[in-house]
Amino acid sequence: MPRIQILDDTLASQVAAGEVVERPSSVVKELVENSIDAGAKHVTVDIQRGGTALIRVTDDACGMSREDALLSLERHATSKLSSSEQLATIMTLGFRGEAVPSIASVARFRMTTREKGTVAGTEIQVDGGTLRDVRDAGVPEGTCIEVKQIFFNVPARRKFLRAETTEFAHVEHQVRLHALATPEVRFTLSKDGRTVFDLPAATDWRVRIASLAGREAAGQLIEVHRRQGPGLAVRGYLLPSEFARKGKRQQYIFLNGRPIEDPAISRALRDGYRGSIGEGAHPAAWLWLEMEPSLVDVNVHPAKKEVRFHRPFDVRNLIAEAVEKSLAGDVPEIQPTPDPEPKLAEPIEHVSSDTTPVRLPVKNNPTPVPSLPPERPSFPHQAEKQQELTAPSGKKVIEQPDFRIIGPLHDKYVVLEGEEGVVLLDPIAARERIVYEDLLASTGGEGIDTQGLLVPELLELDAVDSDIVLRHAEHFIEAGMQVDSFGGSTIQVSSLPAFLKVSDIRGFLLELVDELHETVGTRRGKAMAFEAFAAGVARRVGRREPCRIDHADTLLASMFACDLPYCTPDGRPTLIHISLNELDRKFGK
C-alpha cells in the first residue's frame, strides 16, 4: 500500500479552511465579498456571541439557482474565472472558489437563495462538510448564509478563538472596511439582536468616513484630489499630522475596491508628510487606488489581504507626491487622458469636496536617544554621603545630593553642577519615575486623587481599540481614570488623576490606547499587571514634561522622594554624571 494518499474531499476542505477561515471575521469577509461581487445594494450582517454561535450574512443581490447553489459548495467552483488568461485582469473581490466549501466544512452551514424573477428559492444545509438537505423554499430574492458553531468539529482551532468581545471587534472592523470600500452599498451590522450601525448608501466618501470615523475627524479631512500616473490613479482623504498615532490602524487603503495592506504605501504616506509627524507615528488616511489589473497580482495571499505591484516605485512615488501636494493645498489641473494611455476601470462617481486643504506646520520634535542605564548611581562620592532617611509615613527616601542648577541644554536637558563634576537631568525620565511610583503607591492605600472633567472626553475609537480599553477598565480606574462605554465604539472618560497636567487630554488618552494595543497578544499583555499599565501611563505623562529651570528644584525633590530615583520604570537613566576626572582626560590634563 503506498504511503502517499489523496485526501478525501471533506478533509481537503478542512485543510483549505486553515488558509481561508482563521476566525469569525474571516467568514464575514468572504461572505460579504461574495455579496458585493453579486451586485448587492444592501448587505446585513448578524452576529451572535462574537460569531462563535452564529454568523448570518444576507444580501439582495442576484441570487442563485439550485444548480449554482450546489456547485458553489464544490471546491474551486467559481463564476468569476473561466480561463487562466483572466487571472491577469481580475476585478472581482473573490475568485478562488474556496471560501464557501471551506466555511461549510468547519461549521453548521445553511444557505437560502433565490434568483431574481423566479418563484421558488433553494435551501441547502451542510454539517461539517457533509450535505444534509436540499429543498425548495420560499425565500426573498438574494442570498442568506448562516454559519453556526464555527470549528465545532475542529476543537484544536476553536480553542484559539479569543473572547467574544474581541472576536466581534474584528468582525466590526472587517465590515467597516467593506463599508468604506463600497459607499454605494448599504451596510447593517447587528450584535446579539442589537443594531450596531446601519449605514445608508452614499455617493460621497466623506459621508461614509464621518459615519465610521466620527464627526470630529470628518471636520478635519483634507482631500487628496485625483492624481494619475502610468496605469494608476489615486484619490482620497487625509487627516492633519496631529491625528497621527502609533500603528497603521487609521490607514484604510483600497485597490480597485479591495481593502489591502501594503508597507510600501504606508512608507509613501509618511514620505508625503515630510517630517511633520514624529518617529513611530503613522498618519490617518483613506486612499482609493485604481490600477490596471495587469499591473498588480492580487493572488499572492490566501486571504487576499496583500498584493504585489509590478511597478511598486511608481505607486510609492505617486502616493507620496499626491499626499505632499494635498497637504500643501495644491489642486491639480484636470488633464484629459490621451488615447494611447491604458484605460482604467470606470470609477464610481463621488461628489468632490469644495474644502481647500490648509498647509500644515512642520513640527520638529526629535526623540532623544537614551543612554544605557548605569548599574549603580554615577555619583560615587555623593553616594557614600547619602543615607537612607525615614519619612514620617515610614517610607525610606534617598537624601538629595547638593546640586547647583546651571541652565537648560537645547530645551531638552537641565545642566547641574555636582560636587564631583557635571550632571545632566532628563526631565521626561524624571517625571516618568515620579508618576510611576505615585500610581503604584495609590493601589496599596486610599487610592489616587482624581479630578472630574467638567465636560467628559469622548473618544471615537476603532472597534478593536474600544474593546481593549473596556477589558482593562479596572486598570484605568486604579490610575484615576473613569472610562465607560458611550455606545458603539465610543469611550467616555469622565475623570483623570489629579497630578495629570496635560493640555491635550485627547492626545494623551489616544497614546495610552496605542500603548495598550501594543501589549495585547504579548506575554506582558496576557497578564497586563497594573505595574505594566502604570509604566505606560508614566511614559505618556513624561513625554509632556517641559524643560523649565524654574521647575527643576521641585522636580528633583519629587524624584529623590522615590524609591528608585536614578532610572525610569524601563531602566533608562534620569541623571547622567560626567566626573571632573573624565573631563580632564578628554582635555589632556
Whole-number Å distance between alpha carbons of 586 and 589: 8
Instruction: List the one residue out of 141, 347, 386, 106 whose CA is nearest residue 232.
Output: 347
The C-alpha angle with vertex 152 and arms to 147 and 157, in degrees rounded to 5, equals 105
CA-based end-to-end distance of the chain: 87
Instruction: List the one residue out of 445, 339, 454 whose CA is nearest residue 394.
Output: 445
Residue 368 grid cell: 532623544
Helix 505-519 / helix 530-542 crossing angle, nearest 10 deg: 140
pLDDT for 546: 67
**In degrees rounded to 5, what are phi and psi of residue 156?**
-65, -30
**Is 236:248 a contact under the CB 8 Å cutoff?**
no
The C-alpha angle with vertex 79 and arms to 78 and 81, in degrees rounded to 5, equals 80
pLDDT for 302: 63
Q: What is the DSSP string of 431-494?
A: HHHHHHHHHHHHHHTT---EEEEEEEEEEE--HHHHHHHHHTHHHHHHTT-EEEE-STTEEEEE
Q: Which domains occur in the chain, in start order? A: 9-201 (3.30.565.10), 206-327 (3.30.230.10), 380-580 (3.30.1370.100)
pLDDT for 374: 38
pLDDT for 185: 94
**Is 266:233 a contact under the CB 8 Å cutoff?**
no
Q: What is the pLDDT along the chain (589 residues), one digit of tens a residue?
A: 577 777 776 666 666 565 678 899 999 999 999 999 899 999 999 999 999 999 999 999 999 999 999 988 887 766 655 555 555 566 667 655 678 888 998 999 999 999 988 999 999 999 988 899 999 999 999 999 999 999 988 888 888 888 888 899 899 999 999 999 999 999 999 999 999 889 999 888 888 988 888 777 788 899 999 999 888 999 999 998 888 887 788 899 998 888 888 888 888 998 898 878 877 788 999 999 998 888 888 767 666 667 888 888 999 999 999 999 998 887 666 555 444 444 443 433 333 333 333 333 333 343 333 333 333 344 443 433 334 444 434 444 566 777 878 777 887 888 888 777 888 888 888 888 887 777 777 665 455 677 788 888 888 887 777 887 888 788 777 777 888 888 777 888 888 877 666 667 777 777 777 777 766 544 444 444 566 667 767 776 766 666 677 677 778 888 888 877 878 877 788 888 888 888 888 888 7
Cβ of 117: how many Cβ atoms within 10 Å? Answer: 7
pLDDT for 556: 82
Residue 112 grid cell: 437560502
Residue 59 CB contacts under 8 Å (≥ 6 apart), including other chains: 35, 38, 40, 42, 43, 44, 142, 143, 144
Task: Please provide the size of the chain in residues.
Answer: 589
Q: What is the DSSP string of 175-205?
A: HHHHHHH-TTSEEEEEETTEEEEEE---SSH
State the pairing for strand pair 251-255/285-291: parallel
**Is 205:222 a contact under the CB 8 Å cutoff?**
no
pLDDT digits (tens, 9 = 90+) for 472-512: 788 777 777 888 888 777 888 888 877 666 667 777 777 77
The residue with cell 554624571 is 577
Strand, helix or coil at 88? helix
pLDDT for 159: 83
pLDDT for 361: 38
Between the alpha carbon of residue 371 and those of residues 375, 403, 456, 568, the distances in Å are 12, 21, 39, 12
Between the alpha carbon of residue 489 and those of residues 214, 462, 519, the distances in Å are 10, 6, 20
Helix and strand element counts for the chain (H, E): 19, 26
Residue 196 CB contacts under 8 Å (≥ 6 apart), including other chains: 172, 189, 190, 488
Cα 349 vs. chain centroid, distance in angstroms? 29
Instruction: List the one residue out of 41, 16, 15 whose CA is nearest residue 30.
Output: 16
**Is 289:256 a contact under the CB 8 Å cutoff?**
yes
Instruction: List the one residue out of 589, 452, 479 whose CA is nearest residue 534.
Output: 479
Cβ of 292: how many Cβ atoms within 10 Å? Answer: 18
Helix 263-273 / helix 312-327 crossing angle, nearest 10 deg: 30
Helix 205-213 / helix 164-181 crossing angle, nearest 10 deg: 160
Whole-number Å distance between alpha carbons of 43 and 29: 12
User: Which letter does DSSP use for residue 573 in this model?
Assistant: B
Residue 290 CB contacts under 8 Å (≥ 6 apart), including other chains: 232, 233, 234, 256, 344, 345, 347
Whole-number Å distance between alpha carbons of 108 and 493: 41
Please indicate, yes or no, whether the overall pTM of this predicted structure exceeds 0.85.
no
Whole-number Å distance between alpha carbons of 259 and 183: 13
Instruction: List the one residue out of 94, 98, 102, 136 whose CA is nearest residue 119.
Output: 136
3-state SS, 77-94, equals CCCCCCCHHHHHHCCCCC
**Is 47:168 a contact under the CB 8 Å cutoff?**
yes
pLDDT for 542: 67
Residue 510 CB contacts under 8 Å (≥ 6 apart), including other chains: 245, 459
Whole-number Å distance between alpha carbons of 115 and 136: 12
pLDDT for 42: 96
**In degrees rounded to 5, what are phi and psi of residue 577?**
-105, 130
Whole-number Å distance between alpha carbons of 434 and 324: 41
pLDDT for 10: 67
**Is 249:465 a contact under the CB 8 Å cutoff?**
yes
Strand, helix or coil at 404? strand
